Structure 1
Amino acid sequence: MQLPGNCRTTAMGILPHQEIERAVDLALTLDIPFWPQLPRYSYYEDMYVQVSEHFPGILVDERQQRITLDTGRFFEELADYAAQSDGEEIFKLSPQYSVAFDAFLARDLSPYRLVRGQSIGPISFGHKIVDENLKPVIYNDDIREFMYDFIARKVNVQYRQMKEIHPAPFVWVDEPGLEIIFGSFSGYSSERAKKDFGSFLHSLEGPRGVHLCGNPDWSFLLQGLDLNILSIDAYSLGQIFSRYTDAIREFLAGGNIICWGIVPTLSEELGQESVEKLVGRLEEIWGNLTGKGIGLKQILRQSWLAPARCCLINADGYLTVERSFATLRQVAALLRDKYNLAD
């Protein structure tokens, strides 16, 4: 699939809404809509819990809002898992774990060039979920190998379900914990992670994308992973990201897309910005790249735009996030008009 760029809009999956249809309505206001994850609606909507459905040994404590893995139970449940894993049902999102997925698929998605799903990625999941000894499961060789395969199957089944109702879906993985592997305290090296993560991405069906709001070594993602889409928090980290000029040049030369999260979702930040200021902020970041010989036409042709981050902490609930989406659409419209970008 050739991915269309030209400053199309999309967003991260997590929304602060508790009304399912309103959340889906909001997602459908963007050029590349997505099914929403609604952790304020239910703890099962938490992105770590959501992907854990049918993972052997997983314990979800809704009251304490905690998810852990029991190692003994993991091995006990492997045989039952193996008996079911030849089919797809065990990898599908159930209504309990995603109230919006079926609601999204039930909408008329035919006007959209692309539609998107999402899943937490294995590096973040493996660092977040701990066993009975409070050890992250990514440090357990047996569980880590299983985890990569399990999440890949989840992603692929989600992709196939979307493919049944739209010709051009994709599922990106959220990796908020990716920057952990570059810390000196990590027992899971970036070299090992790149090998494992590269194999994981290679097993995914459809365009391969990664979203993260953190600040890793960006060359890890830009070079050697065969990614098609990289989504970043450009509002906070765009200047740092743009220093990786050679890696960005190589990434774009492969025909890939950078999704620039340029519109803030925190109330106080959004209140200080205007459409014109945000466009100027993004053009300044792009100027760092054009100054090093990357053509602006190429950047625009291979760019998407998004809010900078998910946000669940605003005092006004979903109102600032909805304003952020509206601002995003205005930023995109200004850029498309200014640079004569085709739909």
Structure 2
Amino acid sequence: MLRYLPQIPTWPQLPNAGYLESMYLQYSGGMPFVTLDPAKERLFMDLRGDIWADLERFYERVLEDDLEWFAITPQYASGLHAFIGRLWRTRPPELVMVKGQVTGPISFGLMITDERKRSVLYREEVFDAVLKSLALKARWQARQLQRLHPQVLMFIDEPYLSSFGSAFINLSRDQVLQYLEEVVSAIHQEGALAGVHCCGNTDWSILMDTELDVINFDAYEYFQGMTLYLDRLQAFLKRGGVLAWGIVPTNPQIAQGSAETLRRKFLEQVADLEGRGIDREVLLRQSLLTPSCGMGSLSVETAGLVLQRLAEVSQAVRADLSAAPPKGKRAKTRASA
């Protein structure tokens, strides 16, 4: 990570290290009603009986702003604690920001169920506790990362937003906005930047209508989806929003794509948006390059290849833009995980 992404490194999620490090269980510590099932490597929320006493104790922690109660321990995130230890000892001179992540409330609420296998997203009295837990865990994490560098970018991972509008997610647009904004606001409370990553297509206008600073999309597979929201994209960029282009695939196709092929693909997509009225200079100035999706399920070798390719693409794009800067000015892109 630090070898290839010294500017904006991120801590690695390691689901293969143990089931507690999956992207859902990883953030469950401190939540009420959580019951672990080691045999099936899953958790559920046991809501049988009187839940109100447990909720009362939970909200006391929230009202006390007890961030340590919502800490993410090494048992749940060995990658986070190893990352903090490594950067605490030695920080690359190129470091400009540190990135962290938390599972988004919509995806968490859909994946985690009660004892009757109903998604807790639809249990309003319980989901509010889930939402506040995730928001406070994001704040706790931002504070830890700010010990390494004052500039922190926190991503909210929302893979299930790609199902918004289908029968799979029974939520209104306003509900999605409300849930995301609570976590975004918590991140901003700590002075960190907030981004969202969604694999696949979604209604990008929802994310552009929030106070998010960064929107991360899979530009390798789903670029055309972004072209459906040009007016909102214009407004997002105008207020300083950043597009994080997932241009390097994290599937077996990585072995087939050279850095030059991916460089051309990215610049062709930039030209496509420019042809649709998006200012090229603004777009490039407010862009990051990233992998297309998470790498937790990849082998160490494949993950290393993805990061190496990302660094190569970033360098190639920078060189290209330095040789022919748009409108007489030099635009910048940055590589991030």
Measured against the shorter chain, the TM-score band is 0.7 to 0.9
- Quote how far apart the aligned CAs of 1:110 are: 6.0
Q: Is contact 2:71–2:140 with CA below 8 Å preserved after alignment?
A: yes
Per-residue deviation, 1:252: 0.8
Q: Could you tell me whether the CA contact under 8 Å between 1:138 and 1:188 is conserved in 2?
A: no
Determine the C-alpha separation between the residues in 2 that align with 1:149 and 1:28: 35
Aligned in 2, Cα 1:119/1:312: closer, same or farther, shift over 3 Å? closer
Structure 1: give runs of 5+ residues left out of the alignment: 1-25
Task: Tell me the alpha carbon deviations over residues 21-44 of structure 1, each in whole angstroms, 9 at most, x when there is no partner.
Answer: xxxxx2552121011110011111
CA distance in 1, matches of 2:182, 2:67: 21
Of 249, 260, 268, the residue aligned with 2:245 is 260
Secondary structure class of the residue paired with 1:71: coil
How far 1:243 moved relative to its partner? 3.0
CA gap of 1:110–1:259, structure 2 versus 1, over 3 A, is: same
Q: Kindly provide the CA deviation profile for residues 202-233 of structure 1, in whole angstroms up to 9, marking residues without a partner as x.
A: 232321111111211111112x2011001111
Q: Is 1:177 the equivalent of 2:160?
A: yes
Give the TM-score normalised by structure 1.
0.86
Determine if contact 1:58/1:69 at 8 Å carries over to the other structure.
Answer: yes
- Aligned-residue sequence identity (percent) comes to 32
- In structure 2, how many angstroms separate the alpha carbons of the residues matched to 1:312 and 1:165? 23
Matched ranges for 1:61-210 at <5 A: 61-72=37-48, 75-85=52-62, 86=64, 87-106=66-85, 107=87, 108-109=90-91, 111=93, 112-205=95-188, 206-210=192-196
User: Matched residue of 2:11: which SS?
Assistant: coil
Do residues 321 (structure 1) and 303 (structure 2) align? yes
User: Could you state the TM-score of these two structures normalised by the residue count of structure 2?
Assistant: 0.87
- 1:140 deviates by 1.0
Which range moves more in the overlay, 26-35 or 145-154? 26-35
- Structure 2 equivalent of residue 239 of structure 1: 224
Equivalent residues of 1:210, 1:229 under 8 A apart: yes
Match of 1:330 in 2: 312
Higher-helix-fraction structure: 2
- Tell me the distance in 2 between the aligned counterparts of 1:84 and 1:239: 44
Cα offset for 1:180? 2.7
Secondary structure in 2 matching 1:191: helix
Listed as ranges, the gaps of 5+ residues in structure 2 are 323-330
The answer on 1:280 being equivalent to 2:264 is: yes
How many residues are matched? 314
Distance (Å, rounded) in 1 between the aligned partners of 2:2 and 2:57: 37
Checking the alignment, whether the CA contact within 8 Å between 1:35 and 1:104 is kept in structure 2 is: yes
- Please give the root-mean-square deviation of Cα atoms over the aligned residues, in Å: 1.9
Residue 274 of structure 1, CA deviation: 1.3
2:202 corresponds in structure 1 to: 216
Relative to structure 2, which stretch is displaced further, 100-109 or 81-90? 81-90
Distance (whole Å) between structure 2 residues aligned to residue 27 and residue 165 of structure 1: 14
